[in-house]
Amino acid sequence: MTQNATAATNGCIFCAIVARQAEASMVYEDETVAVWMDLNPVTHGHLLVVPRGHAEGLEDLDPATGAHVWSVGHDMAQALRRSSMGCQGINLLVCDGEVAFQTVPHFHLHVIPRYSGDGLGEPFKVDPPEREKALRDSDARAIRCALSSPG
């Protein structure tokens, strides 16, 4: 049984779609990813770019697959802009982890077309206070340390 078929039998809806065990409005497919219309779109034209192999989050993606997801996302954004749908902007969004609002535990890139008056407000418009330089420096050190440590 393939990885996708195994994951599909384990309840992953995205693996089931990739394995043709569940339906979706498919836009594009290649050997690495599949792209389909979001079932519950934020705006009309909302696409999902999904790796064929099951990967729950960013850490589970190999670099080549991750790069390909973003490359295909770029192509989809261009196609949306060129389409007859009247798209005026694009948001690319990854929700990695439950606290980040990931609702399907299979990595995916949202390609969300934006339209004047679509009612979505500006993302992250919370007007956060400026973080002190010493705290930013401490955060930067922690991230640099994680970059140099083995996974």
Answer yes or no: is 149 within a domain. no
- Rounded to whole angstroms, how far apart are CA atoms 56 and 107? 5
Answer yes or no: is 137 within a domain. no
Q: Which domain holds residue 8?
A: 3-120
Predicted local confidence at residue 1, as pLDDT: 40
Predicted local confidence at residue 12, as pLDDT: 95
Active site residues: 108
Answer yes or no: is 132 within a domain. no
Number of structural domains the chain divides into: 1
Amino acid identity, residue 125? K
Mean pLDDT along residues 118-130: 75
Answer yes or no: is 23 within a domain. yes
Answer yes or no: is 28 within a domain. yes
% of the chain exceeding 70 in pLDDT: 89
- Rounded to whole angstroms, how far apart are CA atoms 72 and 145? 31
Q: What is the CATH number of the domain that holds 62?
A: 3.30.428.10
pLDDT tens, position by position, 96-117: 999 999 999 999 999 999 999 9
| Mean confidence (pLDDT) of the chain | 90
- Concatenate the DSSP letters of all residues of 112-147 into one string: EEE-TT-S---TT-S-PPPPPHHHHHHHHHHHHHHH
